[in-house]
Amino acid sequence: MSSNTIHRLRLFVYNNLQNKSHDSKLSRYVDYFLICLILTNVAAVIAESVDTWYYPFQQQFLWFEHFSIMVFTTEYLLRFWSIVEADPKANNWGQRWRWIRSPGALIDLIAIGPAFLNFYVSIDLRFLRVLRLFRLLKLTRYFASMRILLIVLNKERGAFQAVIFILIILIVTASSGIYLVENQAQPEVFESIPKSMWWAVVTLTTVGYGDVIPITTAGKILGAVITILGVGLAALPAGILATGLANELSQRKEELEQRFREILLEGDIDLVQNQTQIESMRKELGLEKEQAQDIVLQVMRELHLEKRENEVRKKNFCPHCGERLD
């Protein structure tokens, strides 16, 4: 193969496997196939744990696993090989080395790693199977909303740190308190602080299995106080995440609005071109189509209203000196 053919092939692979702005039928089919394979893999892991499903089809499960590893390994190698097309001017091996350390590539490696490890080290088969579940993480690549959620998690990590810190304080305090109070009445259940922690976690998260319950009056009062405090705290991360998500999305909407205003300021460029520009900005910001349309309409309306206000003002004031005309 000539160097040119290789180059064209590599570009073709890159476009259909990795390039997100390249949107062809083939690239979509590749995505669908990989998503399906990941989901089938997860289903297989679950099914293999059921003896009545596993034993009759042992061979088929093995074949499917071999097929999956082959596909995922090929995917990994092709990505590794074609990533250089992302920036044709950069150094090939430098780019590949950067890619290998990217989160996406690490997830891909984790997805196939354990299967290869098995050749050298003998791992407990059952444990090995479950490790295959890491393949689920490969899905992250295909869902924009997942990535936004991760970004929010990262942005709000300060708040989460505080919540986890308080949660730990609460758990330690609760388990120590209940240990002091209930140890005499139920020496086995509340034998030590670490053992009491099970009660603390089950109670503070409001799961409340009912396997460990305070029975003394003091224990019940302590339990009640801790539960009331805990309830508020346990739901806090969800609240922070929800508010953070809403803020992130509204920030992105504002960003889109601002960019759109900037475009409109340039004057009457033909609309079709703008449409493409807005679409690409929308994708970049991970917003949905409807939201983008709402924003565009909103901006155009506000501009119209401003214009009207200016016109009304002009009617009432002299445009030459600003003096009122009455």
Tokens found for residue 37: 């394979």
Determine if 185 is a binding residue for a copy of itself (CB under 8 A). no
- For a copy of itself, the binding residue among 17, 34, 38, 45 (CB under 8 A) is 45
Q: Can you give the C-alpha Rg of the chain in angstroms?
A: 30
- For a copy of itself, the binding residue among 69, 78, 100, 146 (CB under 8 A) is 146
- Which lies closer to a copy of itself via its Cβ, residue 9 or residue 43? 43
- For a copy of itself, the binding residue among 19, 27, 95, 205 (CB under 8 A) is 205
Minimum gap (Å) between residue 214 Cβ and a copy of itself: 9
- Which lies closer to a copy of itself via its Cβ, residue 73 or residue 205? 205
Determine if 275 is a binding residue for a copy of itself (CB under 8 A). no
Which of the stretches 19-27, 77-85, 96-104, 164-172 binds a copy of itself when contact is defined by CB under 8 A?
164-172
Determine if 104 is a binding residue for a copy of itself (CB under 8 A). no
- For a copy of itself, the binding residue among 15, 73, 176, 216 (CB under 8 A) is 176
Question: What letter does residue 209 receive in the DSSP assignment?
Answer: -
Measure the CA–CA gap between 12 and 6, rounded to whole angstroms: 10
* Packed helices 58-82 and 25-48: angle between N→C axes, nearest 10 degrees: 140
Determine if 80 is a binding residue for a copy of itself (CB under 8 A). no
Q: How far lies 45's CA from each of 40, 51, 203, 235, in Å?
A: 9, 12, 32, 32
* Packed helices 236-265 and 271-285: angle between N→C axes, nearest 10 degrees: 160
Determine if 118 is a binding residue for a copy of itself (CB under 8 A). no
- For a copy of itself, the binding residue among 24, 74, 247, 293 (CB under 8 A) is 247
Which of the stretches 68-76, 79-87, 129-137, 272-280 binds a copy of itself when contact is defined by CB under 8 A?
129-137
Listed in sequence order, the residues at least 6 apart from 255 whose beta carbon sits closer than 8 Å to its beta carbon are 285
* CB of 175 closer than 8 Å to CB of 199: yes
- For a copy of itself, the binding residue among 1, 125, 272, 321 (CB under 8 A) is 321
- Which lies closer to a copy of itself via its Cβ, residue 277 or residue 291? 291
Measure the CA–CA gap between 221 and 171, rounded to whole angstroms: 16
- Region class of 322: left (phi > 0), else alpha (psi between -120 and 50), else beta: left
Determine if 82 is a binding residue for a copy of itself (CB under 8 A). no
DSSP state letters, 227-251: HHHHHHHHTHHHHHHHHHHHHHHHH
Which of the stretches 30-38, 113-121, 125-133, 272-280 binds a copy of itself when contact is defined by CB under 8 A?
125-133
- Region class of 122: left (phi > 0), else alpha (psi between -120 and 50), else beta: beta
Determine if 126 is a binding residue for a copy of itself (CB under 8 A). yes
Which of the stretches 22-30, 68-76, 99-107, 154-162 binds a copy of itself when contact is defined by CB under 8 A?
154-162
Minimum gap (Å) between residue 67 Cβ and a copy of itself: 21
* CB of 281 closer than 8 Å to CB of 256: yes
